[in-house]
Structure 1
């Protein structure tokens, strides 16, 4: 996977919500993300994070079914890079 561009604030906040177990994702080719039970206000960001392989469903679900969202290894690495950069 190529080096990820720097995350914007919304992408970082979305990844943090996923990392905290507050997100669900739909089974779809363009998955929708829900945080704290509410649809994410920026589905373009949600789709981009999924396409970049940073978030994924925790398990397989039926099309449209909400399942827990998790960070992938790439998502954890991207979030870790961002946290390390902001702490420096």
Structure 2
């Protein structure tokens, strides 16, 4: 989780707590905008999270140029033998 995501999530929870406190204090109609800020922060957090997941899925599907297209050697299908450790 990045810093901006943490800030959005904590701001959403903070605005929600403040809004609930205002409702119990008897100012329910005046605290409407506080609840809206809470929902806006929560939706922004969810949108950033979804965009990050989509970006990771696209990066998984596209081949990386640094790795190339060569398949990795499999030790069981070749004449590869491990080097023996030398005694001291």
Question: Whose helix fraction is larger, Structure 1's or Structure 2's?
Answer: 2
Indicate the structure whose relative CO is greater, using CA pairs within 8 Å and at least 6 residues apart.
1
Question: Whose strand fraction is larger, Structure 1's or Structure 2's?
Answer: 1
Question: TM-score scaled to structure 2, two decimals?
Answer: 0.31
Q: Radius of gyration: which is bigger?
A: 2
